[in-house]
């Protein structure tokens, strides 16, 4: 099984603060990987490095064949191959749902408008919002807006999807809406990396769970490892929550 995301001895500092301290991990094609850990453990920074939103100080990162540690990276091609969805939806309020989704395919992939609209309709169908193409973001719930943000990333037809705490601003009902979409993508074989605090979801859906602690990969294993953690740090994290 081919590896599509590989970090080797990755270090990242913000000034004097070392956030990543030798992170090494590999994610196979078609796998769902959940990254968990306390605030400040480095999990979101590691995710952002996978899309070169942050540049690393040492080590190597290769994602979908792109060497992100290199001085020169084709960011346009990288962003086509690797989608990312954040906690904040970042939708343009003055554009309709369809216009939000077609913006990047038109500008980056230089698709025809008809083709972009067809993809927008397909991806909206994937997230259960086929009837919301003409709506504006303010007319949608938070869960619906987050699903539009996922559809917008899917419209670029990426090889890998990154999710950074995408449900942390949502109430439980809206959280479940978004998690159902992610679970459906997993069933379709999408390669995904999720930074999440939804432990039950991670245990059920993730092929691999990575527990980060103090900037390092502390424990890793299948989703079931959350039922029987091997390290005291993970046991403590799971017993005290976030």
pLDDT tens digits, 62-93:
999 999 999 999 998 998 999 999 988 889 99
Mean pLDDT of 117-122: 96
Q: What's the chain's average pLDDT? A: 94
Q: What is the pLDDT of residue 1?
A: 63
- CATH code of the region 3-89+160-240: 3.40.50.300
- How much is the CA Rg of the chain, to the nearest whole Å? 18
Token pair of 155, please? 């419209």
Strand-by-strand arrangement of the 66-67 sheet: 17-28, 3-14, 58-63, 66-67
Contact between 209 and 225 under an 8 Å Cβ cutoff? The reply is yes
Mean pLDDT of 209-224: 96
DSSP 3-state percent helix, strand, coil across the chain (nearest 5)? 40, 25, 35
Cβ-Cβ contacts under 8 Å for 215 (sequence gap 6 or more): 18, 19, 20, 21, 23, 41, 42
Q: What is the pLDDT of residue 83?
A: 94
The tally of CA atoms less than 13 A away on the side-chain side of residue 160 is 27
Q: What is the pLDDT of residue 78?
A: 94
Contact between 238 and 229 under an 8 Å Cβ cutoff? The reply is yes
CA pair distance 15, 22, nearest whole angstrom? 17
pLDDT at 149 over 80: yes
pLDDT tier at 242, thresholds 50, 70, 90:
very low
pLDDT at 31 over 80: yes
Share of the chain above pLDDT 70, in %: 99
* Residue 5 burial class via C-beta count within 10 angstroms: exposed 0-12, middle 13-18, buried 19 and up: buried
Paired residues of 14 in beta bridges: 17
Mean pLDDT of 103-122: 93
Token pair of 175, please? 């959280």
**Threshold 0.75, pTM exceeds:** yes
Tokens 């017993």 -> residue: 239
Contact between 134 and 181 under an 8 Å Cβ cutoff? The reply is no
Mean pLDDT of 9-14: 97
Q: What is the pLDDT of residue 241?
A: 56
Q: What is the pLDDT of residue 5?
A: 97
CA pair distance 182, 175, nearest whole angstrom? 11
State pLDDT tens for residues 164-190.
Answer: 999 988 888 889 999 999 999 999 999
CA pair distance 71, 109, nearest whole angstrom? 24
CA pair distance 146, 144, nearest whole angstrom? 5
Strand-by-strand arrangement of the 208-213 sheet: 82-85, 160-164, 191-195, 32-36, 208-213, 216-221
Mean pLDDT of 106-120: 93
């Amino acid at each position: 099984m081919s590896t599509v995301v590989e970090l080797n001895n990755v270090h990242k500092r913000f000034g004097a603060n070392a956030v990543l301290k030798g992170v090494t991990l590999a994610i196979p094609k078609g796998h769902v990987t959940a990254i968990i850990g306390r605030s400040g453990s480095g999990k979101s920074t590691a995710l952002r490095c996978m899309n070169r939103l942050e540049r690393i100080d040492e080590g190597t990162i290769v994602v979908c064949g792109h060497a992100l540690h290199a001085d020169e990276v084709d960011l346009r091609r990288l962003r086509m191959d690797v989608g990312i969805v954040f906690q904040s939806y970042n939708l343009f309020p003055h554009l309709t749902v369809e216009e939000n989704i077609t913006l990047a395919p038109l500008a980056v992939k230089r698709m025809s408008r008809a083709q972009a609209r067809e993809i927008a309709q397909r991806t909206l169908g994937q997230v259960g919002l086929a009837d919301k193409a003409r709506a504006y973001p303010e007319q949608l719930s938070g869960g619906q807006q987050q699903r539009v943000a996922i559809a917008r990333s899917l419209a670029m037809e990426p090889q890998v999807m990154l999710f950074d705490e995408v449900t942390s601003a949502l109430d439980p009902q809206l959280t479940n809406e978004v998690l159902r979409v992610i679970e459906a993508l997993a069933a379709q074989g999408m390669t995904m990396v999720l930074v999440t605090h939804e432990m039950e979801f991670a245990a059920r859906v993730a092929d691999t769970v990575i527990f980060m602690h103090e900037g390092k990969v502390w424990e890793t294993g299948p989703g079931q490892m959350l039922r029987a953690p091997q390290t005291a740090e993970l046991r403590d994290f799971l017993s005290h929550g976030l």
